[in-house]
Structure formats: C-alpha cells, structure tokens
Structure 1
Amino acid sequence: MKILTQLSNWITKYFVVIILAVCAFAYFVPKPGVTLATTKIGHLSAVSILLMIILFGMGVTLSVDNFKEVAKNPKMVILGTVAHYVIMPLVAFGLVHLFGLTGAAAVGVILVGSAPSGTSSNVMSFLSGGDVALDVSIGLLSTLLAPIMMPSLLKLLAGKWVAVPFQEMFFSALEIVVVPIVLGLIVHTLLKKHVEKIVQVMPLISQFAILVIITAVFSANAHNIFSATALLLVPVVMLHNLSGYALGYGFSRLLSMKEPQQKAITFEVGMQDSALASTLAISYFSPASALPAVIFSVWHNISGSTLAAWWKNHDRKISN
C-alpha cells in the first residue's frame, strides 16, 4: 500500500508532464484510444465507466461530516457554486462569439464552461493555503447539480449549433455522476473501519482513469489536432480558465471573504471537470466537441499549480 501511495504522489507531482506524454502517445499511436472511445459496455461507453470509477473514488472519500460542513456554512458554499455556474458558462459563451467559433468547437467550449468544478481544484486550494473544506463543499454541490445544470446551460447557450437531448443528458449525468458518488458514500458509511485502505488506493485509480480518458479523446481527434480550429481553441481555453480565476477572485473580494476563502473560490470557479465534459461530448455529440475539454485538462493543471505556488510563496514572503 505504501508503494501505491508513493506512486500516486509521484504521478501527482509530475501529472502535467505525464498528461503531455499521454497526448503525444495518443497522437502517434491513436488506434488503441480510438477503440476505447468507441467501445460500449451495455448502454454505457467505456469512457463513461472510467468516469464513474473516478467519481466513486470521490464518494468513498466523503462522509456524513462533509455534508454537516456544508450545513454549517451554507451561504459561502451556495455563493461559490452560483458564481461557478454563472461565470464559467457566460465566459465560454462570450469567447465563442469573440473568436467566431461555431459547430463542434463552440459546443465543446460551452460544454466545458457548463461543467462542475474540477477535483484538481481541491489539490490547488490545499497547496496554496486555501480553505479546503469550502473548496470540497463547493465541488461536491456543483457536481451533484451537474445533471440539471449541464444540459440546461448547454441548451440555453449552445442550442443554435446543436440539438441538445436534455432528458437523455440529464439521466446520463445522473447515472454517471450522482450514482457513483452516492455508492461511494454508502461504502464509506458501511465499511468505515476498512475504507481507509480503499481511500489510499483510489487517487491512483482515479489518476489512471483520467489518463485513459484523455488518451481516448485525444486519439479520436488525432487527425485534426493541428487544424486551424484546434489551434484556435488553445488561446480560447487559456482565456476561459484565466478569466475564471480572475472573476472568481474578484467575486470573493467583492464579498469581503477572508484570504483562504478567496483562494478556494478562485480555484473552484476557474477549474472545470473536463473529464465529465469530454465524456458527455463523446457520448452525445462528436469527438471534435471533446477537444476543448482535453486542452482544458492539460492547461488548468499547469495554470492551477503555477497560481498555487505563487500564492504560497507570496504568503511566505509576507509572513517573513
């Protein structure tokens, strides 16, 4: 178990480099990833099942105490979640029109913007000295709301480019997102004495699943990864993420939150669950619409770790 924990820590440390290596492999050897992207097990895609494993891992780490934490301070959790679901979708919509994106590219950007908070934000909040409890609470609430928010926002903001199957997406997101989290919570509650071993290995399983999802999506888009549209998506994704940080931070400052809360809100607003966005894109639209999510996955880990390191160093200088 110690070896697995050390391996997980090593992957976390070099996650961005590993993602880039996985993308390079998917580009030069796309066949395995394409097969995975098109494989179905029952009515679910293989990519969907991988995402369910990730979210089950999230559920296993939760306990009833997490929900008590939300109940103790619901105001900041609700405000943070509202900020996330207002700022990121609207910024995505604005960037789509600013850069003249249409079709799959526009749908993909808005789908990323409509996704819940990314789990990476928890790590970044911790590294920066932010309020991790608030961060986790907002991430949990935004994820549980995803079955309603994602199809609703997509229909509202991207309906002119694509027919959004609202009901199908709702039940699919419910099955992929909420059910695994609830099952994980039940396992944690029933097997509390034994769950620590599972919790220790789940980050490694989740990291592996994320890398496999990225491989599948990147492979499916390998033929047009250097097209004009794909290259245009890079600055769009970067601006989307950075605008989320800036507006999330500004929102928290406006409400006179303490600095740890400001950090948590900044990361919770700016970092997206790109794995969920890419999974739904492949399931309901096209592989091309999943490309913004893959680019976002790589970029927000780079920007998030950079911002967390800067914040930590800034705090250290002030304390000295």
Structure 2
Amino acid sequence: MNWIDNFVRPKIRSILGQKRDIGENLWVKDPESGEMVFYRDLEANQWVVPNSGYHMKIKPTDRLKTFLDDGAYKLVPVAGVPVDPLKFRDQKRYTDRLKENRAKTGFDDSVIVATGKLLGRDTTVAIQDFDFMGGSLGMAAGQGIITGLETAANRKTPFVLFVASGGARMQEGVLSLMQMPRTTVAVLRLREAGLPFFVVFTDPTLGGVTASYAMLGDVHLAEPGARIGFAGARVIEQTIREKLPKGFQRSEYLHEHGMIDMVVHRHNLRSTIGSLSAIFAKADAPEAVTAVAPSAGRSTLRDAAIAAEGDDGDLLIPPAGAHAE
C-alpha cells in the first residue's frame, strides 16, 4: 500500500489538479456578423474576417510586414519631445498613462516611421497606432509625422501614411493643436520636392487629424468600412438637430461623394499604392501629364494618376516587375 499511497495517488491528484494549458483569445468575434474566427486564420488573412470582409485593427509591425517587400523594414528614430509639459492629471497622471501605453504597444508614441521597398521602389511609411491612447495627436505624434515627411523628402521617396486616430490629445492642450499647422508645413515641403503623399484612412480617423495632414494627400485611399470625419455622428446630429444618412461617415459613402479617391481592400493596398508610385514617378513625362488638363484644386501628381486610369475608372496596373525608373 505504501507504493500506492506514496506514489500513485499523489501522481493522480497532481494530474487532476493541473489546469489545462489553453491559450487565451484563440477565437475572435467578428463585430459585424458575430462569427467566431480562429485567431491564426485571422492573422494569416491580414486581420480581415474571411467571410464578412470586416477589416479589424492590425498592429503596425504586422502592417509593415505585409505591406513592404519581403516584410523588410527599418524603423526611423523620432526626435524626443518634452514629456507632460502641462503636468496634466485627470484620474491618473499623464506620465503614468504614457508608461502604460508604451508597455502595451512597445513604442514610444502613437506614430511609427519606417523605410523599406514597395514593389522594388524605396518608400517611406508612417503608421498611426490606435492602440496607443487612441492614436491621439500630441507633440510626439506630430514630430513622428514630420519626421516621416522629412525622411521621404531627403530620401526622394513616396510617403505613405496609414492614419487612425480619435483626435487631438487633450493632455497636451494647445500644444497638441499646434501639431496641425506644423504637419501642414511639412506636407508642403514634400509637395515642393515633387514627391507623392498617399494617405490610407483606417478605422477610425477623426478629429484634428482629419482636419490637418490626413486630408492633404495627393491620393486619399481608405479601407472598407472605415469611419472618417471630424466630430462623432451623435455630436453632429445633436448640434444640427437633424437625422443624418446611415453610414455617412463610412469610407464608401465618402467615396461616393468625392471626399475619398478610392476604397481599397487591405489585400490590395500593396499593389494599388505600388502602381500609383510607378505612375507618379513618370509625372514629369509629357505623356503622363498632358492626357488630362490640370483642374482647379487638384495637384499635378493626382492629375497624372487620373490620366493613367482606364475607361472604367480602374487603375492600369503595370505588369509584375515593371517599375518606373
């Protein structure tokens, strides 16, 4: 009995007492249809729900790996800015919020800048991370956007911005609002250099970001179903006291009304922007700019893109391996 008491029973108790090692979040619920999707399948599909096509949020590093050639990129350091210049505190100190979000995301602030190749062409990319305090625009985020624009101008590359934000960062007050004119000036410098600026709206893009650099691109693209606007729908309805059309802040509605140039599935962003870059690289060629006369309020780069569209409005995608020099 000693063998049973001393070995068998304790072994059985230890096995029965062990918790099953089941990974958390193996299944993710589709907010649109309620469908449960296996985590690995969703990750392999670039965080797009296979059946409904719902575009979920994607981490900046995952975005860069699927967008740039071979998933290779190099992060660009962003100059530091004063931390908590207003000594702001609400339910907790602003410095504590920054520490929490830095630990959660692994980045210093909401904007990440990187360089790499897109279809063989050097490209500068900036991504606004909504997981970092709602992608809010503060001094560090503004400096990140400016760094991306200046890097593109210095390296003579196109600049691609994936934007997602809830607006200005209230903890920095007027210093946050000052990032709107600062980034606007940086956009003008890139335009003076004759380089294209592509903006990709993701869900959501609101507030001061929409009122500044996000609407200054040469071409505005958006992922399906992305919410885009200045104020929230409920705030607008309460202010004007009118019922607004359903989905009036969604990318499809804005595309129909001329505010967005294209609504592009996440799987097609790489090829679409790569093709636009190839078109804009030829913008100085006579055949690229004379097909359509420049129209008021549109840049020469965007006119070149329009001239390169087919009769049905689809972009003429160059064959694989064909890149403008």
TM-score, reference length from structure 2:
0.27
Of structures 1 and 2, the one with the larger relative CO (CA 8 A, separation 6+) is: 1
Please state which structure has a larger fraction of its residues in helix.
1
TM-score, reference length from structure 1:
0.28
Which protein shows a greater Rg?
2
